[in-house]
Structures are given as C-alpha cells and as structure tokens.
C-alpha cells in the first residue's frame, strides 16, 4: 500500500505535535499520564504511516520483530522492580543507540551517497555506538556486575582523544571516498571502545548524570539516522529526545555540582584519600528503637521524611505513607524532601511515592525544603545516604565536596532508618550518623516504619 507524500507529511506533522504536547504533559504529575498517552499515540501514528509507506522489508519480518520485541518488553515490564528501573533505562538507552547504528549501517551498505547523507551516517554510527557500549557499562555498574568505582588506566584520556579524533577522521574519509567497508567497521570499533572508556572511569554515585546524558545521545543518534533515511518524524523525535536529555543532564550536573564539560568527556569526580569509617563512627553512633522514635514523634509539630534508594529496595513507600497519615492524624505537619538525584535516576523517589498515592503537593524539592530544616522537629531519613552527607559541605578532600545536599542535620532530631552503617553509592562514610542529634534505627526499612507506626498508634 502506497500513500501520497502529502498525507505522509501531514501524519508526521500530527505525530510531531503529539510528541511536543506529550513532553509538555510530562512536566506536571497531574498531566503526566495524559502526556504519556499523547506521545505514545504520536509514535503509533508515525510507526503505522512508515510501515504503510515503505515496503523494503517484508511484513512477515516486521510482524516477527513486533511479536518478539513485544514479548520481551512485556516480560521486562512485569518482572523488573522499581529498584532495577535505572539499569533498565540504561539498557533501553543503549538499545536506542544500537537501533540507530543498525539503520545507518543498512542505508550505508545499500549505497547511501551525498555529503549530508554520508555525514549523518557517520555521526549516527559514532554517537549510536558510543551510546550502546557506554550504556552497557552503566548497566553493569548499576547491576553491580562491574565495580561501581572508577575503572581506568594511565593515559586513558589521551586514548579517548585519539579514538575521538580517529572517529572523526573516519567519517571525513567516508564522505570523501564512500564505499570503503573497512573504514566503516573501523569507525564502529573505535566508537565502541570510546563508549566503554568514557563511562568506565565514572563512579556509581554519578550514574544519574550518565543515564541522562546517554539518553540525550540516543536521541541525537536517532536524529542523525533520520537524516540518513530522509525521515522527518525520526529527525524531530530524535531532536526532542536529544534536547530534553541534555537539559536533564544540565539539571543533574547542577544538583551534583558537576561540570557538563567533564560529563561530556568522561571526567567525573575522582576519589580522594581513603576515609576511615571507624574514626568517624566509633563511640558516637546512638542506636534507637521504634518505641523511642514513636515517643519523639508524639510531641513533634513538623516532620520531614527523606526517601532514598534504601526505601526503594525495601519497597517501603506504602508503609511510609501510612506513617505520615498517622502523624498527620495527631495534628503534625508532614512533608517529603526530594533530592534531585535521590535513588539512581532522576525522579526515582517521585515515582515511588506517587505509586503510594502521596500527594504531590507534599513533595518538596531541595531548594524549597532546605531553609525549613532548622524549624523541623524530626527528620526521618529512610535509606538516603550520599544526598544527606555533610562531607559535601565540610570536607574539601571528599569526592562529593560541593554537591548540594539536604541539610537534614540542622533539624532538632534526625532518625536514620538503615540496615547498617554501610556507605552509599559514593562509597563514603556519613558523619550524619554520628552527630549528637541523630538516632540510628537499624533494620529493614519497611518493617522499621511499620513498627514505628504501630508504636505511635498504640501510644
């Protein structure tokens, strides 16, 4: 079935408008579901029109791909827990980059010609392959298949520079002398190595920034593939993803006090001197019990809850909401302090709390909540570590120095719910645990919160 070019252009225009409206809707929780549906509808229109217009690949192959890919996607949607969502996002970014490389390679080996087409092919291959291998490394670190710390070797930055320059030279050669398959595969290999070496030295604490950046890369690769194929929908979609991903990366950099330039070139926070946890904790950590915490909450007028990755691991979001409801029923005010990079990806805590039907009005960002901690009676920290670590303010030798944090230590009482004194993803001890106004409640996050709620109701 063939469709006239005018109808194709109109359909792609409608799809593009739906993409923009979808992204607009995602900026607010109340309109997020509608925004997601609008964007999905736009993608559906673009996909259907493209399939009806192009018949190079048999529909049997397309249907087989849809069935296999749909089955894999359905299994992932059902099986993957929210705690594993960051590494799934990293994988999906990589798959997006890989798909762009496949499209560009298909067009190249079918005889793509012209300066613009060949330049776009080279860029799609370079950026898409970097996205693919870099995302695999990010997945490996988040899944703890690889060491979460910095992995590298002397002269790594120089090697990266050579690989980058070599990749650009290969693209120029492809444009000037098209048809050389060895140059094409050389570009693929160089880009694959570059993706690996750019992400390997980045520590686990900086993975939220890396995920946002790789998301941007996948969009740019898709846009370049769109130029190769002459597909306006792919160009627009990729541009939107690339631009929004870059904006998100900049927001994450600000939240973590990182330089966007350093992120782009794989230069992130480097570890300083090894810090002795025993020196910080020994004789200073005060353990508490659910009954003692409940007694403190009985007289509290203002309580702030700080969720972290530990909350996600314990699946404690519903228990936390029940505790907040119990505290509010006694006349106290409860709010939630959300750090931009709490968890392992942007918005991780917002999604978890929304799942527990916590009112979005109670979720306060870092800049809004920080000035109020001095007037807060009790802060309950559940599994958050690095985003509450005072080293970021006080220790110039710390790898996280300068990173904006939630100033929970300024509250009258801080209750930290945690399994142990183990460090966060940055691998650093947290002096907050040893402060005079801090009580540690050791145990499973969900059970500890349930016990506090029970004790508060019985009291």
Q: Compute the distance between CA of residue 153 and CA of residue 146 in angstroms, rounded to an integer.
A: 16
- Contact in structure between 384 and 312 (CB atoms under 8 Å): no
Residues linked to residue 63 through DSSP beta bridges, in sequence order: none
Rg (CA), the chain: 25
Q: How many residues does the chain have?
A: 459
- Cβ neighbours of residue 87 under 8 Å, at least 6 residues apart? 138, 139, 142, 143, 344
Q: Compute the distance between CA of residue 161 and CA of residue 352 in angstroms, rounded to an integer.
A: 40
- Contact in structure between 258 and 417 (CB atoms under 8 Å): no
- In three-state secondary structure terms, 414 is strand
Q: Compute the distance between CA of residue 457 and CA of residue 332 in angstroms, rounded to an integer.
A: 14
- Between the alpha carbon of residue 378 and those of residues 154, 332, 335, 410, 455, the distances in Å are 47, 11, 11, 10, 16
Give the strand pairing for 333-338 and 363-365. parallel
Q: Which of 322, 325, 386, 451 is catalytic?
A: 386
Sheet of 302-307, strands arranged across: 363-365, 333-338, 302-307, 378-382, 413-418, 438-442
For residue 421, how far is the Cα from the chain centroid?
Answer: 25
Helix axes 232-256, 29-53, angle to 10 degrees: 150
Q: Compute the distance between CA of residue 104 and CA of residue 338 in angstroms, rounded to an integer.
A: 41
Q: Compute the distance between CA of residue 249 and CA of residue 266 in angstroms, rounded to an integer.
A: 13
| H or E stretch covering 386 | none
Question: Is 386 one of the annotated active-site residues of the chain?
Answer: yes
Annotated catalytic sites, by residue?
386
């Amino acid at each position: 079935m063939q469709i006239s070019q005018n109808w194709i252009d109109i359909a792609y225009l409608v799809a593009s408008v739906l993409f923009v409206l979808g992204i607009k809707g995602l900026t607010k929780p109340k309109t997020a579901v509608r925004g997601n549906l609008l964007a999905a509808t736009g993608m559906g229109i673009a996909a259907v029109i493209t399939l009806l217009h192009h018949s190079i690949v048999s529909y049997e192959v397309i249907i087989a791909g849809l069935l296999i890919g749909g089955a894999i996607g359905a299994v992932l949607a059902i099986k993957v827990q929210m705690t594993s969502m960051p590494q799934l996002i990293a994988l999906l970014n990589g798959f997006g980059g890989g798909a762009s490389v496949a499209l560009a390679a298909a067009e190249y080996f079918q005889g793509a010609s012209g300066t613009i087409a060949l330049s776009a092919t080279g860029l799609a291959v370079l950026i898409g392959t970097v996205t693919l291998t870099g995302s695999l490394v990010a997945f490996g670190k988040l899944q703890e298949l690889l060491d979460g710390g910095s992995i590298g070797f002397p002269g790594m930055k120089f090697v990266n520079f050579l690989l980058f320059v070599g990749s650009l030279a290969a693209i120029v050669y492809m444009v000037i002398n098209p048809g050389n398959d060895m140059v094409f595969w050389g570009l693929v290999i160089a880009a694959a190595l570059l993706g690996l070496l750019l992400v390997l030295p980045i520590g686990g604490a900086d993975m939220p920034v890396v995920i946002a950046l790789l998301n941007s890369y996948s969009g740019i690769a898709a846009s370049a593939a769109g130029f190769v194929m002459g597909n306006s929908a792919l160009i627009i979609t990729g541009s939107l993803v690339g631009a929004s991903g870059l904006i998100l990366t900049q927001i994450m950099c600000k939240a973590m006090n990182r330089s966007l330039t350093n992120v782009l070139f794989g230069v992130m926070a480097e570890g300083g001197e090894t810090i002795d946890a025993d020196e910080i904790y020994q004789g200073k950590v005060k353990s508490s019990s659910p009954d003692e915490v409940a007694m403190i909450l009985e007289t509290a007028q203002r309580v702030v809850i700080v969720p972290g990755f530990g909350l996600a691991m314990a699946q404690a979001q519903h228990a936390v909401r029940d505790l907040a409801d119990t505290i509010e029923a006694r006349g106290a005010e409860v709010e939630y302090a959300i750090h931009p990079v709490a968890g392992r990806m942007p918005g991780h805590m917002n999604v978890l709390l929304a799942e527990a039907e916590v009112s979005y009005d109670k979720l306060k960002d870092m800049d809004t909540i920080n000035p109020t901690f001095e007037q807060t009676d009790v802060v309950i920290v559940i599994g958050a570590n690095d985003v509450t670590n005072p080293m970021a303010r006080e220790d110039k030798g710390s790898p996280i120095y300068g990173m904006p944090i939630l100033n929970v230590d300024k509250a009258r009482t801080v209750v930290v719910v945690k399994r142990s004194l183990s460090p966060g993803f940055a691998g650093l001890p947290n002096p907050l645990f040893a402060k005079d106004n801090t009580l540690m409640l050791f145990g499973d996050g969900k059970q500890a919160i349930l016990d506090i709620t029970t004790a508060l109701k019985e009291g």
